[in-house]
């Protein structure tokens, strides 16, 4: 089987860093690094990081972390939750999907969530 992916996910180091939204009583910072966005949340509650722009036609966004792992939203969603326990986190890329079930399906069959814009035999 061959899968063709023509979507080239944005590299976050090319965008000014967003500061995560946090509830009252918490603080957050966002900075651009050589690898992507470094985000930190301090205090109680969960901060929410938004992508630089939601890819057109995408209902679900997956974020790639610096270590190569992914945060996948369940169903629809474009934000990335960040807590003090996880801070700081460096996210490097964001990839959008038209269907919120697609990331789970790709993961279940062992395909990468983000791959280069070319043909790949699987």
pLDDT confidence band for 1 (50 / 70 / 90): very low
Per-residue pLDDT reduced to its tens digit, 35-92: 888 888 998 888 888 776 665 666 667 777 887 777 766 555 667 788 888 878 888 8
Average pLDDT over residues 22-36: 88
pLDDT of residue 120: 43
Q: What 3 state SS string does 3-70 have?
A: EECCCCCCEHHHCCCCCCECCCCCEEEEEECCCCEEEEEECCCEEEECCCCCCCCCCEEEEEECCCCE
Q: What is the pTM of this model?
A: 0.65
């Amino acid at each position: 089987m061959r899968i063709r992916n023509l979507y080239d996910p944005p590299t976050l180091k090319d965008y000014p860093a967003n500061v995560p939204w946090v509830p009252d009583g918490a603080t957050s910072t966002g900075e651009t690094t050589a690898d992507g966005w470094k985000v930190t949340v301090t205090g109680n509650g969960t901060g929410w990081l938004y992508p630089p722009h939601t890819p057109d036609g995408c209902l679900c966004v997956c974020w790639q972390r610096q270590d190569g792992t992914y945060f996948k939203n369940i169903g629809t969603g474009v934000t990335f939750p960040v807590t003090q326990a996880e801070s700081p986190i460096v996210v490097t890329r964001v990839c959008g999907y038209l269907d919120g079930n697609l990331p789970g399906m790709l993961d279940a069959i062992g395909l990468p969530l983000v791959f280069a814009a070319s043909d790949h035999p699987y």
